Amino acid sequence: MDYSYEQTISDLVQANHILSHEGVLDAFGHVSARDPENRDHFLLSRSRSPLFVEAEDIISHDFDGNPLAGPEIRPYAERILHAQIYQARPDVMAICHNHALPLLPFTTSAIELKPICHSGCLFYEGVPVYDDYDVSDGMLIINKREGERIARAIGSKRALLLRGHGAVVVGSNLKEVVMGSIYLALNAHIQYQAIQLGQPKYLSYEEGRAATEKMLSDLVLDRAWEYWQRRTALKHSPK
């Protein structure tokens, strides 16, 4: 599915608002999209809490993480994370970096995050954990070398956990990344609860693969997007 520049900007603003409303993004974290007019650039807001991002905040960046706007623009510090993943993964069209609370225990535990429910099926190929920080950078992904390591760590997978920090979710469009980001956190919450009851039974590889094919159809993505979009609008409409 092809998206215009204007539609991508609109969807990126909506993605920021939806992921904020659903508790995946808070004051921090960010979501981006590859620039449909130049695949060697990506679109990302200026440094602002995602709930408040508007179309005029969105800036195109190059793969060195440079914002292609005036020097008065203050970009996100971790923009290099997005840049290096886009450069390494031509299939990736959108990225979310978040600090969703249900994920954090799995970033620091020997217990692997696995798909345990139907909505977690997207991660049937596994979710690796990154633990190779440049200590002097305060566990932020702000230099090119570490961005490259992040890109290698996620490999061909759909998500990556960052020890004691959060997660990265990638996808072939913004709707897919919004769905993946919401359901990765939900899956972690359910897995944690299931572990309290005993030994969980996880989705098999084939169950996850088959369910993912259905979940990523345009019909399902559009239905979910409409729900999250309307839910967000109702939450923030004047009373």
Residue 100 has pLDDT above 70, yes or no: yes
**Per-residue pLDDT averaged across 224-236, rounded?**
92
| Residue 145 buriedness (CB in 10 A; 0-12 / 13-18 / 19+) | exposed
Query: Confidence class of residue 71 from pLDDT cuts 50, 70 and 90?
Result: confident
Q: What is the CA radius of gyration of the chain?
A: 17
Q: What is the pTM of this model?
A: 0.96
**Per-residue pLDDT averaged across 126-135, rounded?**
96
**Per-residue pLDDT averaged across 114-137, rounded?**
97
What is the model's pLDDT at position 238?
Answer: 60
Query: Residue 170 has what DSSP assignment?
Result: E
Q: Mind spelling out the 3-state secondary structure of 82-124?
A: HHHHHHHCCCCCEEEEECCHHHHHHHCCCCCCCCCCHHHHHHC
- Euclidean distance between CA atoms 171 and 157, whole angstroms: 10
What is the model's pLDDT at position 93?
Answer: 98
**Per-residue pLDDT averaged across 6-18, rounded?**
98
Query: Confidence class of residue 204 from pLDDT cuts 50, 70 and 90?
Result: very high
Residue 24 has pLDDT above 60, yes or no: yes
Residue 136 has pLDDT above 80, yes or no: yes
Residue 1 has pLDDT above 90, yes or no: no
**Per-residue pLDDT averaged across 54-83, rounded?**
94
- Euclidean distance between CA atoms 42 and 59, whole angstroms: 8
What is the model's pLDDT at position 69?
Answer: 82
- Euclidean distance between CA atoms 66 and 61, whole angstroms: 5
DSSP 183-239: HHHHHHHHHHHHHHHS---PPPHHHHHHHHHHHTSHHHHHHHHHHHHHHHHHHHS--
What is the model's pLDDT at position 237?
Answer: 63
Q: What percentage of the chain has pLDDT greater than the value 70?
A: 97
What contacts 219, CB < 8 A, 6 or more positions away? none
What would the pLDDT profile of 27-65 be if each residue is shown by its tens digit? 999 999 999 999 999 999 999 999 999 999 999 999 999
Q: How much is the mean pLDDT over the chain?
A: 96
Query: Confidence class of residue 85 from pLDDT cuts 50, 70 and 90?
Result: very high
**Per-residue pLDDT averaged across 218-227, rounded?**
98
Residue in 33, 7, 6 with CA at minimum distance from that of residue 19: 33
- Domain of residue 138, CATH code: 3.40.225.10
- Euclidean distance between CA atoms 53 and 188, whole angstroms: 27
Range of the domain at 224: 5-236
What would the pLDDT profile of 178-194 be if each residue is shown by its tens digit? 999 999 999 999 999 99
- Euclidean distance between CA atoms 164 and 185, whole angstroms: 15
What is the model's pLDDT at position 53?
Answer: 98
* Number of separate domains in the chain: 1
Amino acid at 134: D
**Per-residue pLDDT averaged across 57-81, rounded?**
93
What is the model's pLDDT at position 239?
Answer: 52
